Amino acid sequence: MNRFLYFFLSIMLFQQTYSQSNNYYTVIESIEDVEVRQYKKMIYASYTPIDQPDRGNSFKNVAGYIFGSNDKNQNIKMTSPVVVKLHNDNEMAFIMPDKYQINNLPIPNNDKIQIYEEPKSIKAAIRYGGYSNEKIEKNKISELKRILLNNEITHHNNFEVLVYNSPYKIFNRRNEIVVSIDFNLNSNNMSDESKIYFGSGCFWCTEAIFENVIGVNSVTSGYSGGKIANPSYKEVSRGLTQHAEVCEISYNPQKVSLHDLLKIFFFSHDPTTLNRQGNDIGAHYRSIILFGSNQEKLIVEDYIDEINQEFFDNKIITELKKFKAFYRAEDYHQNYYDQNSMAPYCQLVIAPKVLKVRNDLKVYYK
């Protein structure tokens, strides 16, 4: 029986448990008709047919597990898309809902159902509508290969068919062909200047930390992350605007990477305290990173995942927010530490931070 006809018959019976979710990936870049995506870690329940005639049993077997054929007699909400892994003998896989981990999923009664975790990955996807069949899939795979080849992107030849809409939906159906690829998240950062926005307490400190980093072109103190345009220092410091004190870091990604800047950022302040750094208290002193693109967001999230458990006992509360606008602070805030190095705040607060960072991370400094 055609697998999509079987989808139709099966989901018509169980459509009350079927829900669509598009939260499994973030789009990094669009190239012609192809989306480059980063997929988060996912858990699959799957069935691999033993031969061509057995393909019609794939949905029945996996659906049996999620509809209660397990050691807990528990229904598991069916998610969208359904994945058919063409590269693995047409394995059919359902993505388990976010609330589950490997260790708390019910155990299948059917020993042919496999439960496994797939790590984060970068994939290319091409979308098409209508009903899918082997001819259409081959044509779309060829088109996807052509676009990747033209853009010098290497794929892993592990093509999958993703079916988002239950088969009884005739119009506006969504299908995709996806494949794992080799893709450098920093590949579009080959210009001489990129920008990132860091808030790590008082911007006088943040500016002093970053202004002599190799590859940093300039550091500008200002305000971002709030609600009103062109706020004043008095408005921000009184908590009237929801802005944070941040620095605009302009840097050459060919000389210093965003990953390196993140290392300096997290090393130079406490990202586990809410709305304060030491005696500087208030929401405008919060730890915050404002990212400009999905690529930056993914790099930041990956770095936080990397250090949060190992160094911070899973206590990082740094706010991640999409960058919208930056408002330059008043002139007397710019280059404050260099121009006021003998002031008590600079001597007692900024100087010890700068000295520690430059000693411990000296490889990054001029």
Same structural domain for residues 71 and 27? yes
pLDDT in tens, 2-51: 444 444 444 443 443 444 445 789 898 899 999 999 998 999 999 999 99
Domain-terminating residue out of 158, 180, 202: 180
pLDDT band at 123 (very low <50, low <70, confident <90, very high): very high
**What is the distance between the alpha carbons of residues 178 and 126, in angstroms, rounded to a whole number?**
7
Same structural domain for residues 211 and 90? no
CATH number of the domain that 213 lies in? 3.30.1060.10
CATH number of the domain that 14 lies in? 3.20.80.10
pLDDT at position 22: 54
Domain membership of residue 70 as a residue range: 3-180
Please name which of 212, 210, 189 lies closest in space to residue 294, comparing C-alpha atoms: 189
Reduce the DSSP state of residue 26 to 3 states and report it.
Answer: strand
Same structural domain for residues 206 and 353? yes
Mean pLDDT of 163-190: 74
- On whether residue 125 sits in a domain, the answer given is yes
pLDDT at position 170: 53
Same structural domain for residues 64 and 129? yes
Residue 191 has pLDDT above 80, yes or no: no
- On whether residue 186 sits in a domain, the answer given is no
Residue 339, CA atoms < 13 Å, CB-side half-sphere: 8
What is the H or E stretch that residue 204 is in?
Answer: helix 203-210
- On whether residue 203 sits in a domain, the answer given is yes
Residue 349, CA atoms < 13 Å, CB-side half-sphere: 19
Residue of 202, 205, 247, 346 with catalytic role: 202
Structure-token pair, residue 356? 């520690």
Mean pLDDT of 106-116: 95
pLDDT band at 79 (very low <50, low <70, confident <90, very high): confident
Same structural domain for residues 28 and 171? yes
pTM: 0.66
- On whether residue 189 sits in a domain, the answer given is no
Cβ neighbours around 52 below 10 Å, total: 9
pLDDT in tens, 61-74: 999 999 999 999 99
Same structural domain for residues 168 and 198? no
Which of 17-31, 85-99, 149-163, 169-183 shows the lowest mean pLDDT across its residues?
17-31
Same structural domain for residues 250 and 103? no
pLDDT in tens, 256-312: 999 999 999 999 999 999 999 999 999 999 999 999 988 888 889 989 988 998 899
Same structural domain for residues 137 and 36? yes
Q: Is 205 a catalytic residue?
A: no
Same structural domain for residues 161 and 66? yes
- On whether residue 103 sits in a domain, the answer given is yes
Q: State the average pLDDT for the chain.
A: 89
pLDDT at position 347: 96
Same structural domain for residues 19 and 92? yes
Residue 112 has pLDDT above 60, yes or no: yes
pLDDT at position 77: 86
Q: Report CA-CA distances (Å) from 66 to 73, 115, 165.
A: 9, 12, 18
Cβ neighbours around 51 below 10 Å, total: 7
Same structural domain for residues 218 and 291? yes
Same structural domain for residues 157 and 201? no
**What is the distance between the alpha carbons of residues 70 and 94, in angstroms, rounded to a whole number?**
15
- On whether residue 173 sits in a domain, the answer given is yes
If one counts the domains in the chain, the total is: 2
> Which residue is it, tokens 């690829």?
181
Structure-token pair, residue 285? 């002193």
- % pLDDT > 90, the chain: 73
Domain-terminating residue out of 180, 209, 234: 180
Domain-terminating residue out of 127, 154, 180: 180
- On whether residue 185 sits in a domain, the answer given is no
- % pLDDT > 70, the chain: 90
Residue 344 has pLDDT above 90, yes or no: yes
- On whether residue 123 sits in a domain, the answer given is yes
